[in-house]
């Protein structure tokens, strides 16, 4: 152990770590969840430090030797070295200062280990022209953008799988249901295609919400005025960072606004919340349609993944939709946390970005992994119980709705009641009563007519003319 000193006082710091007193205090003060700051935030901050060293050297405010050492240290970190020293807690006070200082300390000590008799100052050199208030939110936005492509990729896979199911079961009739009561028929092709359309909108929402995350306040320093940053740095740092990170970031037009307001995080969180709501509704439908197998709907068969009961032999539960439901609940709940954290910002800065970034990044990963398991472990091997669907449609009196243009609503209602009372299908009763031509009856109760894919050739209005 050795003593280090800051504006608070002296504190023992371990000899075998690269971080210093600032990070040590953070570990003591924020011992809450034993959860480190997300690795993508650390990575993004290191990319910012590397870019800043390059720009500050070009501006003439950082000598060549120090700049090269800082860049070399950042490269080592970006290649995966010294990861055990990036330990700042995910949930912390001071608007992310502990994360920024953790990186400053590790970069400085790592840089000094690469050359003898060179002193790299954590604030004056590594953090030159910067503030936590512009580096941390920029790193957070970068991290969210980096975590987005895997999520979009999984949604695209799910959409493709749903469209494949729609094609496979395009002509399989099913009883439509509104308010859990029988409604006019549709097909499983229509149902799976509708789900695909739903998730396509989620992709659009996420992409649209992510556009605003490309706008950053880097160079604004403490409150957006750019105090202590050179004009050269402010003009060139975002371009340098784009070169380092491969992202397409741009400088905010109003840096003070970009420093104090966090509505873009709320917008992106909301897009993920909608995705979670849609996923949960979809999984509710899957569980309901799979219910049974004897006493439920039993219209689809989800793949069996594990025994469902410790007491009931042979019971299999819809565990994959269930776990996705729970992920959705978590994402929806954390959206509220993000909203409250954004609302709690005061005057020139929001101090609550740490919890926003923690939840935003966790939600991205949860949704990515949940959709992956839903596709691989459920949708890929989902089958439709065609025989059960045909039976349900045949015995559903509501299919008689197609008779309204021929018999009228009142007469059709009496026909439905009689069919239900006698326990026979409407089609059977209709033929027995000889109310319509048998060929017309067959045509009216065909999948194409019942799902309104083709028009009927006759109606009571036409026969009355």
Partners of 209 in the β-ladder = none
In sequence order, what are the residues at sequence separation of 6 or more whose Cβ sits closer than 8 angstroms to the Cβ of residue 353? 95, 96, 136, 137, 140, 262, 265, 341
For Cα atoms 154, 186, 188, give the angle at the middle one, nearest 5 degrees. 35
Measured CA angle at 203 (ends 201, 205), to 5 deg: 70
CA atoms of 350 and 377, how far apart (whole Å): 41
The two tokens of residue 383 are 């089958």
- Give the number of C-alpha atoms closer than 13 A to the C-alpha of residue 385, restricted to the C-beta side: 21
Distance (Å, whole) CA 264 – CA 411:
58
Q: Is 269 a catalytic residue?
A: no
Spatial distance between the Cα atoms of 436 and 276, rounded to a whole number of angstroms:
49
* DSSP assigned state of 96: G
Which of 113, 235, 269, 309 does the annotation list as catalytic? 309
Q: How far is it, in rounded angstroms, from Cα 429 to Cα 436?
A: 11
DSSP state letter for 61: S
Active site residues: 309
């Amino acid at each position: 152990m050795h003593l280090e000193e800051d504006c608070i006082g002296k504190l023992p710091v371990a000899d075998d770590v690269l971080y210093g007193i600032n990070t040590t205090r953070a570990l003591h003060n924020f011992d809450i969840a034993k959860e480190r700051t997300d690795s993508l935030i650390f990575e993004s901050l290191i990319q910012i430090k590397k870019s800043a060293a390059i720009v500050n050297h070009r501006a003439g405010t950082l000598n060549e030797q120090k700049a090269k050492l800082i860049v070399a240290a950042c490269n080592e970190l970006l290649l995966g070295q010294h990861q055990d020293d990036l330990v700042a807690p995910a949930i912390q006070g001071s608007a992310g200062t502990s994360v920024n200082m953790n990186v400053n300390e590790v970069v400085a000590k790592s840089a000094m280990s690469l050359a003898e008799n060179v002193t790299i100052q954590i604030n004056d050199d590594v953090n030159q022209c910067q503030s936590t208030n512009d580096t941390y939110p920029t790193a957070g936005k970068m991290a969210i953008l980096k975590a987005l492509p895997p999520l979009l990729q999984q949604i695209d896979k799910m959409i493709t799988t749903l469209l494949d199911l729609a094609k496979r079961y395009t002509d399989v009739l099913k009883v439509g249901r509104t308010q859990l009561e029988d409604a006019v028929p549709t097909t499983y092709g229509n149902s799976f295609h509708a789900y695909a359309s739903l998730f396509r909108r989620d992709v659009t929402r996420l992409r649209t919400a992510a556009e605003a995350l490309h706008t950053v306040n880097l160079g604004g320093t403490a409150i957006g005025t750019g105090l202590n940053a050179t004009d050269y740095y402010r003009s060139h740092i975002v371009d340098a960072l784009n070169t380092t990170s491969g992202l397409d970031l741009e400088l905010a037009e109003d840096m003070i606004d970009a420093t104090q307001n966090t509505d873009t995080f709320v917008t992106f969180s909301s897009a993920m919340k909608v995705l979670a709501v849609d996923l949960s509704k979809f999984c509710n439908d899957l569980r309901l349609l799979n219910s049974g197998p004897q006493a439920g709907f039993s219209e689809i068969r989800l793949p069996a993944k594990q025994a469902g009961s410790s007491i009931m032999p042979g019971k299999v539960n819809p565990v994959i939709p269930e776990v996705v439901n729970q992920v959705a609940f978590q994402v929806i709940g954390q959206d509220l946390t993000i909203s409250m954290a954004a609302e709690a910002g005061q005057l020139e800065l929001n101090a609550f970005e740490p919890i926003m970034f923690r939840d935003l990044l966790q939600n991205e990963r949860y949704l990515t992994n949940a959709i992956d398991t839903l596709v691989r472990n459920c949708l890929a091997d989902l089958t439709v119980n065609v025989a059960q669907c045909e039976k349900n449609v045949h015995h559903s009196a509501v299919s008689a709705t197609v008779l309204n243009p021929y018999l009228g609503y009142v007469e059709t209602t009496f026909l439905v009641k009689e069919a239900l009372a006698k326990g026979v299908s409407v089609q059977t009763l209709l033929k027995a009563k000889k109310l319509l031509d048998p060929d017309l009856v067959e045509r009216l109760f065909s999948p194409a007519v019942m799902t309104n894919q083709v028009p009927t050739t006759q109606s009571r209005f036409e026969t009355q003319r």
